Structure 1
Amino acid sequence: MRDPRTGPTREPVSRARSGTIGRRFPRTGTEPVTARSPLRLRLLLVAVFLPLFLAGTALFGTWAAWSDAGDSPGRGPLILLAVVCGVLALTALLDLTVVLRRLRRERGTPH
């Protein structure tokens, strides 16, 4: 179907189809056929923790930059905490893109 005003329309993709082409792996357990990931909850968790991890990265990075040789905690642990917070922020950002893509695909709206 093609709408001349908006271009090609896309039908929403159900969550029952797990992969781009179909199921990636055959069902092996007793999970429900219509099992769904809690996308709204994941979106809420990302909205809470992404800014928290970004703030932690900035805080620990700044603290490490201002710490002296005799300070406790030392520069090494602070840099480690900044890196851990940065990795967790990147993970949350990746999860945000996945959740938004799945929600968009569910609604049937183009990218």
Structure 2
Amino acid sequence: MRDEDPDATTREAPRARSGAIGGRWPRTGTEPVTARSPLRLRLLLAGAFLPLFTAAAVLFGLWAAESGPGDSPGRGALVMLTVVCGVLALSAAVDLWVVLRRLRREREAGASR
């Protein structure tokens, strides 16, 4: 048996980051104390996919509006693609907002030290 600190899994991370670790909830898993989310990568991905999914939702919506009764793909499939792309665009927008808020908090916490 290794000599480990029995409270090591419940200690909070010593950093001024927002998120589940570091202030709001106790640690429950086995992740490292210094684990960090790759915020810059999430910012890049959300920034790239938000306009892509928004444009796809608009295009599929316009295509569905102009499709006739015998067209292939059918109107139902195009509406479903519109909804899926809209949900993905909304998800990317929310993630972009969360990442920007977390980066702003980290920047403010770093400036106040």
Equivalent runs, 1:12-91 vs 2, <5 Å? 14-15=16-17, 18=19, 22-24=23-25, 26-91=26-91
Q: Deviations over 1:45-99 (max 9, x none)?
A: 0111101100110110000011000000010010010011001101110001100
Aligned to 1:10: none
Aligned to 1:4: none
Q: What is the distance in 2 between the residues matched to 1:106 and 1:42?
A: 15
Report the Cα offset of residue 23 of structure 1: 3.0
Identity across aligned pairs (percent)? Answer: 70
What residue ranges of structure 1 are gaps of 5+ in the alignment?
Answer: 1-12
Task: Please state whether the residue corresponding to 1:32 is helix, strand or coil.
Answer: coil
Q: What is the distance in 2 between the residues matched to 1:66 and 1:29?
A: 51
Amino acid at match of 2:98: V
More helix by share: 2
Q: What is the distance in 2 between the residues matched to 1:46 and 1:61?
A: 22
Task: Please state whether the residue corresponding to 2:23 is helix, strand or coil.
Answer: coil
Report the Cα offset of residue 30 of structure 1: 2.2
- Runs of 4+ off more than 2 Å: none
Amino acid at match of 1:46: A
Counting matched residue pairs gives 95
Q: CA RMSD in A?
A: 2.1
Q: TM-score, normalised by structure 2?
A: 0.76
What residue ranges of structure 2 are gaps of 5+ in the alignment?
Answer: 1-14
Report the Cα offset of residue 28 of structure 1: 2.5
Which structure is higher in RCO with an 8 Å CA cutoff and minimum separation 6? 1
